[in-house]
Chain A
Amino acid sequence: KAGVTQTPRYLIKTRGQQVTLSCSPISGHRSVSWYQQTPGQGLQFLFEYFSETQRNKGNFPGRFSGRQFSNSRSEMNVSTLELGDSALYLCASTQDILNTEAFFGQGTRLTVV
């Protein structure tokens, strides 16, 4: 069974640009969550999707958005990139909203220059 797949693994963008990150959950998993990891703030919750609906959102500006498709794949988008958006973005999938075990992908390392 394939794990959580995040693409791309590494990304370099310029300030002001926008970026889209992709996450394919484990087959059969319907809930996808996103986290931002930085040295200063640690791991911070971004948002959670289930059945194409955003169920929960963390304390991030509106420049951070996401969506989930009918096949449970999810994308997150960051517009008007700032240097502080440089981080490792992690995606986690769980089987459903009642399941407690989250499986993480290897992350996308975003560098904003």
Chain B
Amino acid sequence: AQSVTQLDSQVPVFEEAPVELRCNYSSSVSVYLFWYVQYPNQGLQLLLKYLSGSTLVKGINGFEAEFNKSQTSFHLRKPSVHISDTAEYFCAAFENTGFQKLVFGTGTRLLVSP
């Protein structure tokens, strides 16, 4: 069975500083990997996804992530954060078995302060 681990429950950072949110996965089969963002009282919005091909994936709002198969990681990065990036970020995966079932990490709360 696959699992997704987000080790950091909360990441405080100052505005305009770079940030990295960590995500590790485990799976015996090939996976598709995603990062979602959730603002208070909202649903989930897709930031970016890795399906295959280039290991560096660029998403919306200036975010990017790098798939590292040997380290089973899919860390999310942004070179310069804004106050408006304050939100909960979820890493997710589903196995390439044809089922639309996402397995989510526990989430990382990004807190951007001025």
Complex CA–CA separation, A48 to B98 (angstroms): 12
Provide the residues of chain B in CB contact with A31, threshold 8 Å. 100
A56 contacts B101, C-beta separation under 8 Å: yes
A42-B106, A42-B107, A43-B90 are contacts. A101–B100 as well, Cβ < 8 Å?
A: no
Residues of chain A within 8 A of B32, CB atoms compared: 100
Q: Which residues of A contact B51 (CB under 8 A)?
A: 100
Query: Which residue on B lies nearest to A32, using beta carbons?
Result: B100
Report the bound CA distance from A94 to B105 in whole Å: 20
* Residue A64 at the chain B interface, CB threshold 8 Å: no
Total interface residues on A, CB under 8 Å, equals 27
A48–B101 contact, CB under 8 A?
yes
Interface hits, A58-96 → B, CB 8 Å? 58, 90, 92, 94
Size of the chain B interface, CB-CB below 8 angstroms: 23
Distance A4 CA – B102 CA, assembled complex (angstroms): 17
Which residues of A23-45 have CB atoms within 8 Å of chain B's CB atoms? 31, 33, 35, 42-43, 45
CB <8 Å contact, B44 and A97: no
Which residue of B45, B100, B106 contacts A48 across the interface (Cβ within 8 Å)?
B100
A106 touches B99 (CB 8 A): no
Q: In whole angstroms, what is the CA distance A96 to B92 when docked?
A: 19
CA distance A97 to B43 in the complex (A): 21
B103: CB under 8 A from chain A? yes
Give the distance to chain B from A31, nearest Cβ to Cβ, in Å.
5
What 0/1 pattern do residues 91 to 113 of A give for CB contact below 8 A with B?
A: 01010011011111111010000
Q: Is the Cβ of B100 less than 8 Å from the Cβ of A42?
A: no
Q: Which residues of B contact A50 (CB under 8 A)?
A: 100
CB pairs A–B below 8 angstroms (13 shown): A31-B100, A35-B104, A42-B106, A43-B90, A43-B104, A45-B103, A48-B101, A55-B99, A56-B101, A92-B102, A97-B98, A106-B41, A106-B43
Q: Taking beta carbons and an 8 Å cutoff, which residues of B are in contact with A? A: 32, 36, 41-46, 49, 51, 90, 92, 94, 98-107
